[in-house]
Amino acid sequence: MDRNLNEQPIARILVECKLSNSDLIAASTENITYKMLARACKGRRLTPHVQRKICNALNQASGKSFSVKDLFNY
């Protein structure tokens, strides 16, 4: 199974919403790290639990409603 899946839609969404990794970490009520976010943007395969944490943080920081399917294409 290939773990590196190229840049994911979350990277584009972060740019469009003008958010940084720091913004997501500050907005998160769950425990996420810079390493998790870097892996998410680069396309490293993440567990469903980590995907949900990142999705929740993005929804909190952006004020929009994204699903996990919007952020990851695997």
Which is it for the CA torsion 10, 65, 17, 22, positive or negative?
negative
pLDDT at residue 74 greater than cutoff 80: yes
**Separation between Cα atoms, residue 37 and residue 61, nearest integer Å:** 14
pLDDT at 1: 63
Each residue's pLDDT tens digit, 24-73: 999 999 999 999 999 999 999 899 999 999 999 999 999 999 999 999 99
Q: Rounded to the nearest 5°, which phi and psi values hold at 34?
A: -60, -35
pLDDT at 70: 95
Average of pLDDT values for 13-34?
Answer: 95
Instruction: Report domain extents, the chain.
Output: 9-71
Task: Provide CB contacts within 8 A for 4, sequence distance 6+.
Answer: 42, 43, 44, 45
